[in-house]
Amino acid sequence: MADEIRVSFSMSVQNGNLAETFSGGGSFDQTSAVSIGGVVEVGTSTETISLGNVSTAGFATFRSLSTATAGTAYVAIGHYDGTNLQEFAQLQNNDVIGPVRLAPGITLGMATYTATDQTSDIGVQYLVLGE
């Protein structure tokens, strides 16, 4: 088979004289019919995201399930370089990141940065497709 994965995205802004639109998409082959996903509760210590049966990660999407006021708490998403989480994205209240193609051999991690009144973990819904 071919073109098992289809992705599309769109982002636009209309703010006074600023008007921009960026969109695209494509179809991609998936060699192994595997995926992993669900919801992970992310606390203030770093969490490694297990890829389970996905031996070669392809595309991933992440969504914050936070109900906190925007800007008071967020989840940082990154990859590990040794034992250090190298953050590359932030998920604030109801944010969505993706689809993004993951680098081969990546080890994903997340950590929550909270406001002083935030006492609970933040849920992140995710889906990682095998390449």
- Residue 17 inside a domain? The answer is no
Strands 84-91 and 108-113: unpaired
CA gap 118, 39 in Å, rounded: 19
Domain that holds residue 101: 32-130
85 C-beta neighbours (distance < 10 Å), count: 20
Give the number of domains in the chain. 1
- Beta strands 96-101 and 108-113, pairing class: unpaired
Of 64, 46, 66, 63, nearest to 107 by C-alpha is 46
Tokens (6 digits) for 92:
């604030």
Per-residue confidence in pLDDT tens, the chain, 131 aa: 789 999 999 999 999 999 999 999 999 999 989 999 999 999 878 889 989 889 888 999 999 998 766 556 789 999 998 889 999 999 988 899 999 999 888 899 999 887 655 567 889 999 999 98
- Strand runs (DSSP E) across the chain, as ranges? 5-15, 18-28, 35-42, 47-48, 57-64, 74-81, 84-91, 96-101, 108-113, 122-130
Q: What is the CATH number of the domain that holds 66?
A: 2.60.120
What is the value of pTM for the model shown?
0.85
Residue 13 lies in a domain: no
pLDDT at 71: 56
